[in-house]
A and B are shown apart, each in its own frame.
Chain A
């Protein structure tokens, strides 16, 4: 099976700025692989290097075993769906889709059949003669997809292809895109800053920050078992607290402020300065004065009704603000939800996760590595 990508120590520097900092990633054939991160984390630059629009400063891009880092984009068997779609405005839908077929050795009849087949796949039959400007955003997105897929690439690169669409259309296209990927079985490399999109669509997610991969794994892994505070924070709302770790039997004892907590998750072998993390849905909200380990008192500072759940912002002893959600499951509440209510928060050992701090950003050392003088647009 074709379509395997291996990035080896891939680096891209624009002048002094290191956009991608020596990343290693494995994308097995047929996988829906997502690079997730905030803007400026290097995900798009990485994608553009795989496509061939940017030349790496150093490192290798192995596509099915051969290094394509220095191969120009028109000779790579990968195709891209651009964030702005980049449909050729002077060509109609059929002309756009057939654009790349000119470079494949096919008869006119074969080309026509391919165009028809791919337009069927993206449900745009009958739109052949339309110009891009006459299509809606979702339709343009599907033309962009068809134009790339008709060339039967081994890898499809998608640069935030749903970013310009409204929320409803986004949802339905997420499902559609995932279904198409499943049907044709080629590798999809997807770039997004939307964590929900990444979690729902991907087989594997690489969370990026400051040009580095913070963590790569299945959506469940990166969400449930974040390795760094950045990953925990970026994937959903998390409570992060400064803590001091020491040994406590098999588990880890965390000193947070004045109190000690037992933590059973994450880097429990770590000692010294660490971050303690707990998701809002894992915090138990109990009446004031409830006794027991791993508890601390606080005051409800804000109370937000979210429909499916209720979110409390609780100022705890020591000054930290923690978020806790209470599911709206119809059961009677043991505590009041009004602002100003005194409560006790239960941070269970199973919910408390020990994290090591994220890597600080690195800037280029001109003496160590060659850098480009001109930034690219």
Chain B
């Protein structure tokens, strides 16, 4: 072993070893959790044979238990609202910030990035107080959850779109203006088409963030009908869970993975490899 690690001619093998160990460490628990979603018995620790009963079975499965169904549906509804609001808003903000060269621009830029580093629990508590005290007419529930999710996903959209805007540069807009296009056409005939990959990527990231989110969504939920998958997982993990819990976690994971993969592929199709890698690195 020690001799194998000594490899003066190639790249240091101990770096490889650390990488492999880390990958196993991070993937194996998730893989085991997914595996038990397919357990034939009720146990989440003892393997009793392969089955789809917790996905599609007649009782207690993801497909037929109203509690799981409700959580899955609510999660997707929130994700769709979040994407539909955060993406156009984020694109508009990115375009505005890109042009803001006067005094104050730098400060606004920094403030835009704050949600990326603010602990989520702080944002959750702050938003809870906001909806209870300042906007009691909104109160807790789906609208509050959607607003909360948009609040922190917006920054990701802005960062991704601005990155693309910076790499595009001002020249295409100038060329459009030079050829006679008024500002509206410069935006819709040139800038937005060039932003398509970034818009798709940021929409996918917003979608994935919304599905994964627990803290903010939990704080702003009103009642049982506003329970999401992540909240359900948290709440029932300490109760009497069945492998159906693993099954619904698997479904959520698959949706997130599929979205991000799709976005990555679309982005790579349109943009250069380097930008795609940067966006991939942003994913959680």
A147 CA to B181 CA in the complex, in Å? 13
B182 contacts which chain A residues (CB < 8 A)?
74
Chain B interfacial residues counted at CB < 8 A: 23
Asked if B136 is an interface residue, CB under 8 A from chain A, the answer is no
A89 CA to B180 CA in the complex, in Å? 18
Asked if A184 is an interface residue, CB under 8 A from chain B, the answer is no
Whether the pair B175, A86 counts as a contact (CB closer than 8 A) is: yes
A148 contacts which chain B residues (CB < 8 A)?
178-179
A79 contacts which chain B residues (CB < 8 A)?
178-179
Question: Provided the pairs A74-B180, A74-B181, A100-B181 are in contact, do residues A373 and B175 lie with their beta carbons within 8 angstroms?
Answer: no
Which range holds the interface residue count of chain A? 20 to 34
A77 CA to B205 CA in the complex, in Å? 44
Whether the pair B171, A90 counts as a contact (CB closer than 8 A) is: no
Name A80's contact: one of B172, B178, B185, B189 (CB within 8 Å). B178
Asked if B239 is an interface residue, CB under 8 A from chain A, the answer is no
A78 contacts which chain B residues (CB < 8 A)?
178
* A343 CB to nearest B CB, Å: 53
Asked if A367 is an interface residue, CB under 8 A from chain B, the answer is no
Whether the pair A90, B179 counts as a contact (CB closer than 8 A) is: no
What 0/1 readout, one digit per residue, does chain A (360-377) give for beta carbons within 8 Å of chain B?
Answer: 000000000000011011
Asked if A327 is an interface residue, CB under 8 A from chain B, the answer is no
A78 CA to B115 CA in the complex, in Å? 45
Question: Provided the pairs A88-B190, A374-B102 are in contact, do residues A74 and B172 lie with their beta carbons within 8 angstroms?
Answer: no
What 0/1 readout, one digit per residue, does chain B (153-185) give for beta carbons within 8 Å of chain A?
Answer: 000000000000000011110111111111101
A104 contacts which chain B residues (CB < 8 A)?
180
Whether the pair A89, B177 counts as a contact (CB closer than 8 A) is: no
Whether the pair A100, B171 counts as a contact (CB closer than 8 A) is: no
Name A51's contact: one of B102, B170, B178, B180 (CB within 8 Å). B178
* B164 CB to nearest A CB, Å: 13
Determine the residue in chain B with the shortest Cβ distance to A72.
B177
* B85 CB to nearest A CB, Å: 26
Whether the pair B194, A89 counts as a contact (CB closer than 8 A) is: yes
Name B180's contact: one of A90, A100, A377 (CB within 8 Å). A100
* B214 CB to nearest A CB, Å: 39
Question: Provided the pairs A88-B190, A89-B194, A90-B193 are in contact, do residues A103 and B172 lie with their beta carbons within 8 angstroms?
Answer: no
* B200 CB to nearest A CB, Å: 14
- Would you list which residues of chain A between 85 and 130 have a CB under 8 Å from chain B? 86-90, 99-100, 102-104
Asked if B49 is an interface residue, CB under 8 A from chain A, the answer is no
Whether the pair A53, B179 counts as a contact (CB closer than 8 A) is: no
Name B174's contact: one of A53, A87, A102, A374 (CB within 8 Å). A53
Determine the residue in chain B with the shortest Cβ distance to A100.
B179
Whether the pair A374, B101 counts as a contact (CB closer than 8 A) is: yes
A90 CA to B271 CA in the complex, in Å? 11
Question: Provided the pairs A74-B181, A100-B181 are in contact, do residues A377 and B170 lie with their beta carbons within 8 angstroms?
Answer: yes
Whether the pair A82, B171 counts as a contact (CB closer than 8 A) is: yes
B170 contacts which chain A residues (CB < 8 A)?
377
Asked if A356 is an interface residue, CB under 8 A from chain B, the answer is no
Question: Provided the pairs A88-B190, A374-B101 are in contact, do residues A151 and B172 lie with their beta carbons within 8 angstroms?
Answer: no
B101 contacts which chain A residues (CB < 8 A)?
374, 376
A73 CA to B186 CA in the complex, in Å? 12
Asked if A341 is an interface residue, CB under 8 A from chain B, the answer is no
* A202 CB to nearest B CB, Å: 22
> Of residues B172, B176, B178, B185, which shows the largest number of chain A Cβ atoms within 10 Å of its Cβ?
B178
Asked if B103 is an interface residue, CB under 8 A from chain A, the answer is yes
- Would you list which residues of chain A between 42 and 62 have a CB under 8 Å from chain B? 51-53
What 0/1 readout, one digit per residue, does chain B (251-279) give for beta carbons within 8 Å of chain A?
Answer: 00000000000000000000000000000
Asked if A303 is an interface residue, CB under 8 A from chain B, the answer is no
A103 CA to B178 CA in the complex, in Å? 11
A87 contacts which chain B residues (CB < 8 A)?
175
Asked if A139 is an interface residue, CB under 8 A from chain B, the answer is no
Question: Provided the pairs A86-B172, A88-B172, A374-B101 are in contact, do residues A74 and B178 lie with their beta carbons within 8 angstroms?
Answer: yes
A53 CA to B180 CA in the complex, in Å? 13
- Would you list which residues of chain A between 327 and 377 have a CB under 8 Å from chain B? 373-374, 376-377
Interface pairs (19), CB distance under 8 Å: A73-B177, A73-B178, A74-B177, A74-B178, A74-B179, A74-B181, A80-B175, A82-B171, A82-B175, A86-B172, A86-B174, A88-B176, A88-B190, A90-B194, A100-B179, A102-B185, A103-B181, A148-B178, A374-B102
Further 20 A-B residue pairs, CB within 8 A, beyond A86-B172, A86-B175: A73-B174, A73-B178, A74-B177, A74-B179, A75-B180, A78-B178, A79-B179, A80-B178, A82-B174, A82-B175, A84-B171, A88-B176, A99-B176, A99-B181, A100-B179, A100-B180, A102-B180, A104-B180, A147-B179, A374-B102
Binding site for A on B (CB under 8 A): 101-103, 169-172, 174-183, 185-186, 189-190, 193-194
The 4 closest A-B pairs by CB, nearest first: A100-B179, A103-B180, A86-B175, A73-B177
